[in-house]
Amino acid sequence: MFVDRIGQRNGCLVLISVDALAPLFSRFSVSQRILIRYGVAFRQQVVNEIETGQFDSIEAARNHYLIGGFDTVANRVRKMVKNHLLPRRVRVEPVDEAGRVRELQKQVRHLEQMLGRTQTDNLLNQSFLKLACAQLGVEVETFRKKSAGARSTTPRGGG
């Protein structure tokens, strides 16, 4: 890489580099990459301004200084060990909610296993029905229609 030009962003010097190999591949229509390198003083200035409260957030500092890249400033804050400036995700939940979620997940796994067993039993019963109907010489649909309303045993007491 070589320094193509020196630019300014909001009063700070910025070195703008162009990939040196890009002109070699111009016949393949590869576009040039523009890399913007920020100086150490500029990086420290941005982080200090965030820390002193001049900017409400990292995003506000990025927008003010026209810094591209979602994590550019956040990574700099991490490297400078100023983690208290980074936004945090806090999950608020009742004390028993985490245990309840685990319990429900366990119950779902159990019900899925039971459903699988029930489906397997149903397939086996259908196969046995087909075999029994084949031995009796009766069609499965005919057997189902005949046995739909009839009971195989009589009720006890009074029948």
Examine residue 126 and state whether it is found in any structural domain, yes or no.
yes
85 and 125 housed in the same domain: no
What is the arithmetic mean of pLDDT over 97-117?
91
Residue numbers of the domain that contains 116: 97-147
Instruction: Say yes or no to pLDDT of 12 above 80.
Output: no
63 and 82 housed in the same domain: yes
22 and 58 housed in the same domain: no
- Interior/surface letters 99-137, b for 16+ CB within 10 angstroms, e for the rest: eeeeeeeeeeeeeeeeeeeeeeeeeeeeeeeeeebeeee
56 and 34 housed in the same domain: no
What is the arithmetic mean of pLDDT over 19-38?
58
Instruction: Say yes or no to pLDDT of 126 above 80.
Output: yes
Count: domains in the chain: 3
142 and 108 housed in the same domain: yes
Taking CA atoms, 31 is separated from 5, 7, 28, 34, in Å, by: 18, 21, 9, 9
Examine residue 159 and state whether it is found in any structural domain, yes or no.
no
What is the arithmetic mean of pLDDT over 134-153?
79
Examine residue 24 and state whether it is found in any structural domain, yes or no.
yes
Who wins on pLDDT, 144 or 150? Answer: 144
